[in-house]
Structure 1
Amino acid sequence: MFLLAHAGLTLGFAKGLEKVLQCRGRKEYTESIDYRLVFVGSMLPDMIDKPLGGLILGDTLGNGRIYGHTLLFLLFLLIPGLYLWVKQKRSGLSVVAGGSMIHCFLDGMWHYPETFLWPGYGWSFPKGEPGDWLRLWVSLLAEPRYYIPELFGGAILILFLTKLVIHKKLSGFIISGKVKR
């Protein structure tokens, strides 16, 4: 998956969850969602792993799915995030954790247990093609199975931004991260 699928589908999931919680009378859980953090969480595993595994450790590891794509990383975000949400009514870290979980789901990390369950299978990560990770990543653009999620994610993002612009709420969203009614 790429940017549009990760960001758009995660946004769509978060908005859907918000609607379900509101319908069930749980509006207090949705009022504090900062959608800027939804976007950060949706890309956080790649923001960590692509530079680290693909560039910094590219000659030896050549793998863009390492620490940020592990269950341990998700738990590292989720446990303190839930604590802050329950004890201090601060949802920011749990929103980032949720976005990162959706990212790992969209990447199908269950197909890569050596990475997802790290360090359960040992301390090293699977090696990619050192120095060749960028060519491999760009070649995925030629695979049709990636088009559908990208198109859906892009459509969700366009609809979201269009609604903000039409209702003149884009600047408020940029400042607060909230989607006000």
Structure 2
Amino acid sequence: MFIFGHAGLTTLTARAIQKSTNEKRIDYRLVVIGSLLPDLIDKPIGRILFQSRFESGRVFAHTLAFILLLISMGLYRLYRYKKIGWLVLAGGTILHDILDQMWMFPKILFWPLLSGAFKKPAHTAAKGSLNWLSPEYHRLITDQHTYIPEIIGAIIIIYFVLRLNKHHGFKTFLKNGSIF
């Protein structure tokens, strides 16, 4: 999944949680950051800095250990200061891993408990006339399980942006992360 799917579906989920719990402290800036955080960390590590070692965009920040670290920091901040920001960030990251179906990659999800998590995968070229694209972008164009969540996520983001615009809420969003 790409940016729109992660950000849109996670924002909608956070909004549903906010509505059902009447929690007023959800910072949607942290929701969006959390929804993208594993890729923001892992893509540069696995695809750019250490490509010869990993050649994968799913390494350390896609693990349960990373989520538990965020939750631990969140619980500490909640207990000590009554702030939920780190828990919101952790929630966005959890939803990212769910949307990435990380249970299909147990060696990565349960790193460091399982060995061989970050072995360089065997390279397979994309088939068809679009083989010049990386496999991820090829999936975006040809796989309905990739492009449908992206379209839905884009629609959700457009909806929230239009609502913010209608209610003159961009300043409020930028200042405190509130969307309504």
* Residue 87 of structure 2 is aligned to residue 94 of structure 1: yes
SS for the counterpart of 2:51 is coil
RMSD: 1.6
Corresponding position of 2:35: 42
Matches of 1:110 and 1:55, distance apart in 2: 25
Corresponding position of 2:67: 74
* Residue 126 of structure 2 is aligned to residue 135 of structure 1: no
Matches of 1:111 and 1:86, distance apart in 2: 34
Distance 1:96 1:103, change over 3 A: same
Matches of 1:165 and 1:18, distance apart in 2: 21
Q: Which amino acid aligns with 1:36?
A: R
Q: Give the conservation status (yes or no) of the 8 Å contact 1:63–1:129.
A: no
Q: How does 1:89-168 map to 2 (within 5 A)?
A: 89-122=82-115, 124-128=117-121, 135-142=134-141, 143-168=143-168
SS for the counterpart of 2:159 is helix
Q: Which amino acid aligns with 2:100?
A: D
Q: Work out the percentage of aligned pairs sharing the same amino acid.
A: 39
Q: Which amino acid aligns with 2:92?
A: G
Matches of 2:121 and 2:166, distance apart in 1: 45
Corresponding position of 1:57: 50
TM-score with structure 1 setting the length: 0.89
Q: Give the conservation status (yes or no) of the 8 Å contact 1:61–1:129.
A: no
Corresponding position of 1:32: 25
- How big is the shift at 1:136? 1.9
- How big is the shift at 1:124? 4.7
Corresponding position of 2:128: none
TM-score with structure 2 setting the length: 0.89
* Structure 1 unaligned blocks of 5 or more: 23-29
- Residue deviations 1:116-163 (CA, integer Å, cap 9, x gap): 000111265132357x8x812221212222122111111111111100
Distance 1:92 1:84, change over 3 A: same
Q: Which amino acid aligns with 1:14?
A: A
Aligned residues: 171
* Structure 2 unaligned blocks of 5 or more: 126-132
Q: Which amino acid aligns with 1:108?
A: Q
Q: Give the conservation status (yes or no) of the 8 Å contact 2:32–2:92.
A: yes
Q: Which amino acid aligns with 1:155?
A: I
